[in-house]
Chains A and B, each alone.
Chain A
């Protein structure tokens, strides 16, 4: 197993004569396994990881404490008021749901489109999706006034003869987000089964062996198992693909279906999906750029991967920018007075600082990726990914808060001010997200080992890369 080692480190050079390698460094199939597994088995960054998990779990505990406070006291602890009945909680919900898009997009859609470079990043991105959707799902649950009856949203037959009202987009949301979370979780977990089996087999302690063994579901790497696995993976990918598009479209219906100027816009579904992909990729970059550094995965998550993602950022950023301008144009073109006012007010009213922050972060900052040096510079990438994440939060803030703050009757206008609970809970969801992500990095295979082997050159006759199938010709055992 020492054949066909690719030595080039700079995968971002485009050479028309051959495809750029997806794995760099002196790696063979065995070393890939050990590189990824060693992160789990012998954490190289113990101190840094410990500091990070301490901070993030404290933030998470703060979130749990605040949730208790919120439920005990009432949703009035937030800044929500009349007319801004939905404030930060829903902004954060949409923000997290948006972030939860890239994972499944990378796994499912890029899989179906045979984009093999996805294999290095799909596992982490999917994990990110799961955790982001968890953060998102938290908000609508505790956002309602009477948390203890949240299950009235579900169509559960009951003696009170109550039934949900299916015309409400909020109900669609419940199904869309619920389905998305379930399918994403299944997809992620199923894709991880061969790697979990690898970890089981490499385990040095009985406890590890048992735990990974349970989750590996008895995977033995037989041909039959691989066959079933491949089929199931393909089916789930096909199932997940429409969900990527639907979940954020449905979330956008919460706004588009209402009659509030600034919300009532038909462009919302595609605009939200583009924005979600945009924000999701930014979050993947935000996490993967440091992770590949700390966990020594630069050979697997190569510069070419980062460059590809930056290109997607540039493309989706421009889609989002296009959506912003179309919104402005249509508000003028519609001839609807209230519509027009909503957008003038959004750009020039009391929240113009938020609007222009959004424009700068989402439309202006990704333009730097027209330049290759920027696309291949980890620092530029990381900073832009942070800016885009901030910008996407502002996008939701601008949509939700500015539209509500000034609707039809001026007597109702108000200014929304967040409370400390709003701010700390938002920080807390980052704690939750990062805690789970750090635990994931430490205890689960961060990179899809089995899949990456499929895109590596293997076997004496190959010279450069795999043959396009994900068939992995070896067992998971070393």
Chain B
């Protein structure tokens, strides 16, 4: 045994002499107390222990983010400067989704990231995020994430069980090293990499390195929801692949042809904000939105005029629109762009309403030359995109409201073709190694490519993935991937702004990033992500890449002025040929929709689970779809007329057959769905997602059905030839609204009142009667039964305003609230029973013609009534008013009589029928397993976790109010307006929610309350809500007014 002094020199820190001596007792102690290294996943570790670990790890965190170099545990008694235990810190980072980064600001409590906000400085987000970013903390702590590399034949090969992840990584590395020597000999001929497309410059550099090292190797990119058509369209129209950017804040006329700018678009956060600005009814010109679409979308709901058409018909309509624009424009304006072949006519295009629609839209666009936007949806074929560019050019929008940046080299030009080519190569037998970085091609690859089968021809396959998913299970090696919140990386925002990803926590599950793995494959040595990212930054920043600049990057989260340069390309001469070469089939123009054996099927991105990658997120699974209000399922959306023609009943199973495959799916009769077209959402039916999304091997039923089985590489977006067979089997959908078929009495009731609950008028009405909303309901003077509370003594009087004119229904607030307030998930069965727990919900109703209704919606939180009816009936005084006018809820006093909810006219109170916070009765986590304890880490420590039998509701984020009040009081100053933001307000991309002190006349919320559009819902009950809604103002085209019926008939 060597001397202790020697050992002490080797170990910079130690805890006891026994450790230095490495006695067996100490070894055992280590095993017992830390089965894995302290920084790794804490199996069965208590929350207190976790905090100790995390707190301690901060003690060693460097200035750069929160990475620490060593694993030693030190008490917080020697805490670093500027850190107070329990006081959260915020770090800027970024989340990349489909190659687009959003800049985030992450709240971290003692080393534990709990809440995501948009980075207010980041030019793309400006403080808002989409719902996927909001839900990503849950993914970080998902107990179903894989914890160690897994070799398919692990049991056979190793014999003894070797669970040590580090050891397994070493095994993988040694196998890789053997492979590498083989590739070096063949220049990597047998090596293929299939990566999820990423805009990360570091990953691109790693790719270049890899291809340099192995020139014969190939690197493919694939993702099911690609923008390939858009790129091909811009190549055809403008000569090269461009990314189109719209400036909706400047556009006064917007036409979306199957484009969901405010919903599924990669830039939707930005567009929502800009569109909300342009929709200000008090501005000189208020924007007007026309939408022609194949599925009712968020954008369609915001439209002033909406026209449902099958996806395949949009081409014809776009051409008719183009022809009409050319006809109405000054010859001089359009001359330079040449003329297209004659536009299609006849059929549905000759129908009176369509003719009028096209004529008026064209007139409106021509009248606003250079101030309009025509957007084409990602699912439309390339020539329609080319047509879109042409129309924008004809209207003089390019350079005004439409700008272009060159599509970065990181975006694969045609992912579907790449993928098909890869599959062919794999089948050819020449390929011996395939490395899959992220993605889940076995699940979401086109059905006709036969990827899973082709994969079996490859000897050495490795899949880097956050979950051990379908693809991982088909590969030789599964490698755990580090979540973005625990890793280094970088990516570019939609406009190219270089955004850095920095870890908030040491990898929980031994994951590595795609960057690290690619660097390992390319260079054969393990490099830290930080090193690689910093190298990229040095190259990007050039001579400015000082330590200070690096720190500033980490502080800001992005590199200023790093966006791509905008270009104003001219239409390419060939664009006319590209468009004209597609001749529209006469049959498409037919007025009659296709029949039951040749329907159109439209594959759509899901608003909750995206392409299926978020299927294991219980927050997202339980998020009610904006349109259908469904949770935990996907359905076949069918129009009422088509359902009637085919004998389809709502909420019964139908069999959809397309190509060789059939799937059974519940039918959902969707108002505003075009006839003859069925829309299905991708991303469900996962068989190896996890305990939430489905894991067949472990007897967890998949959620919903998988439509990738019907999706082919030739028609990934929409196709004809869908056959529908009805079964009369009922299926109970888990919906948060319209749980049942509504009878005539109910329909009348809805018709009569929705106009009063959600008030809206036209711009014209607003100009003439700005206070139209306040005259929707008249009631006699209201007397209070007792003396009303006075707030003269109070420092603050909190209130909220929700501008219905801005809200798009994106649902981000719902998830933000869930993350902020520890709102539990209840599971499908409980949602069916009507026991969902969301504190903020979005009510939606339809109005008008069922074939093309208008949609009205309204986010509803607790209205924080001044004369709260809930308070008066609580026998134990568990809900009471505080001195600042908030309706408080004392959870630990509540005994659960539920009387308050009965007496709440808005029904915003939620009751814990079971121990939802512990997963009781919601089949969404493996409550048996100790692993699921890690889920508790996602909770906000500032908010009480509610137990069974307790009522809960929106508090206006009282914890945020208190935190800020404490700070302000310590600083002896009043709270400034805007200093407190509620979670829903902060995340809202369109900034529809304002919150603040109603006593301060200059506060934003007070101004909103003073708006003539402000009204209280159910004011006639004299409950005096603290939240006011601002009525929505629509801006219909007066020439199309006849179509936009003004009747207030509503139905669900």
Which chain A residues border B875 with CB–CB below 8 Å? 153, 164-165, 168, 170-171, 174
At the interface with chain B, which of A79-87, A199-207, A461-469? A79-87
User: Bound state CA distance, A432 and B841, in angstroms?
Assistant: 43
A74 close to B915 (CB less than 8 A): yes
B739 touches A406 (CB 8 A): no
CA distance A406 to B907 in the complex (A): 11
On chain B, the residues within 8 Å of A344 by CB distance are: 745
Q: Give every chain A residue within 8 A of B757 (Cβ-Cβ).
A: 408-409
Distance of A97 Cα from B893 Cα, bound (Å): 28
CB pair A259–B869 under 8 Å, yes or no, is yes
Contact digits for A157-173, partner B, Cβ 8 Å, 1 yes 0 no: 00000111101111100
**What residues of B have a CB within 8 angstroms of the CB of A170 in the complex?**
873, 875, 897, 899
Selecting from B198-206, B235-243, B945-953, B981-989, the interface stretch reads B945-953
Interface string of B947-975 (1 = CB under 8 A from A): 11111000000000000000000000000
Question: Residues of A contacting B948 with CB < 8 Å?
Answer: 74, 145-146
Query: Known contacts A145-B895, A153-B876, A258-B869; is A413 also within 8 Å of B746 by CB?
Result: yes
What is the distance, in angstroms, from A397's C-beta to the closest C-beta of chain B?
15
Residues A168 and B872 in contact, CB atoms below 8 Å apart = yes
A76 with B905: CB separation less than 8 A: no
- In the bound complex, how far is the Cα of B743 from the Cα of A345, in angstroms? 10
Q: Mark B735-768, 1 if CB is under 8 A from A, else 0.
A: 0011110110110011011100100000000000
Is B899's CB under 8 angstroms from A260's CB? no
Please, how many angstroms separate the alpha-carbon atoms of A344 and B737 in the complex? Answer: 22
Query: Contact at A404–B835, with CB atoms within 8 Å?
Result: no
Chain B residue with minimal CB distance to A414? B834
A337 on the B face (CB < 8 A): yes
Determine which of A81, A146, A259 lies in contact with B949 in the assembled complex, contact meaning CB atoms within 8 Å.
A146
- Given A76-B835, A165-B876, A344-B745, does the pair A407, B915 have CB atoms closer than 8 Å? no
Asked if A348 is at the interface (CB within 8 A of a chain B CB), the reply is yes
| Given A143-B897, A257-B873, A415-B740, residue A410 in contact with residue B750 (CB < 8 A) | yes
Residue pair A164, B876 in contact (C-beta under 8 Å): yes
Residue pair A259, B903 in contact (C-beta under 8 Å): yes
- In the complex, which of the residues B742, B860, B898, B950 contacts A409, with contact meaning CB atoms closer than 8 Å? B860
Residues on the A chain within 8 Å of B613, using CB? none
Compute the total of residue contacts between A and B using a CB distance below 8 Å: 180
Pair B833/A79 contact, Cβ less than 8 Å: yes
- Given A164-B876, A257-B873, A409-B843; A341-B752 close (CB under 8 Å): yes
Q: Does B1018 contact A (CB under 8 A)?
A: yes
Given the interface pairs A150-B895, A168-B899, the reply to whether A410 lies near B873 with Cβ below 8 Å is no
Query: Complex formed: what's the CA distance from A15 to B833 in Å?
Result: 62
Answer whether A415 and B877 are a contact pair too, CB < 8 Å, given A345-B749, A350-B746: no
B902 on interface, CB distance cutoff 8 Å: yes
A398-418 contacts to B (CB < 8 Å): 404, 406-415, 417
B743 in contact with A404 (CB, 8 Å): no
**A236 contacts B by Cβ under 8 Å:** no
CA distance A350 to B738 in the complex (A): 13
Minimum Cβ distance to chain B for residue A411 (Å): 4
Q: Distance in Å from the Cβ of A71 to the closest Cβ of chain B?
A: 10
Question: B869 contacts A144, CB within 8 Å?
Answer: no
Instruction: Using known A-B contacts A85-B911, A258-B903, A408-B1018, determine if residue A162 contacts B893 with beta carbons closer than 8 Å.
Output: yes
- Cα–Cα distance between A156 and B740 once the two chains are bound (Å): 45
Determine the distance from Cα of A204 to Cα of B509 in the docked complex, in whole angstroms: 80
A414 smallest CB distance to B (angstroms): 5
Q: Are B877 and A144 in contact (CB under 8 A)?
A: no
Residue in B745, B835, B907 whose CB lies within 8 Å of A407:
B907
Q: A152 in the interface, Cβ–Cβ < 8 Å? A: yes
Within the assembled complex, what's the spacing in Å between the Cα atoms of A79 and B835?
10
Smallest CB separation, B978 vs chain A (Å): 30
A146 to B365, CA, bound (A): 62
Q: Return chain B residues, CB-CB under 8 Å to A80.
A: 898, 913
CB–CB B753/A410 < 8 A: yes
**B844 on interface, CB distance cutoff 8 Å:** yes
Q: Besides the contacts A257-B872, A260-B905, A408-B906, what 17 more A-B pairs have beta carbons closer than 8 Å?
A: A76-B833, A79-B833, A80-B913, A82-B901, A84-B834, A86-B898, A86-B899, A153-B895, A164-B876, A169-B873, A254-B899, A341-B753, A404-B902, A407-B905, A408-B1018, A411-B843, A411-B844
What are 24 pairs between A and B in contact, CB < 8 Å? A74-B949, A76-B835, A79-B833, A81-B834, A82-B834, A82-B835, A82-B901, A82-B911, A85-B899, A144-B897, A145-B948, A146-B896, A150-B895, A152-B893, A164-B877, A165-B875, A165-B877, A168-B873, A168-B899, A408-B753, A409-B757, A410-B749, A413-B742, A414-B740
Q: Which A-B residue pairs are the 5 nearest by beta carbons?
A: A145-B896, A145-B949, A76-B913, A411-B843, A165-B877
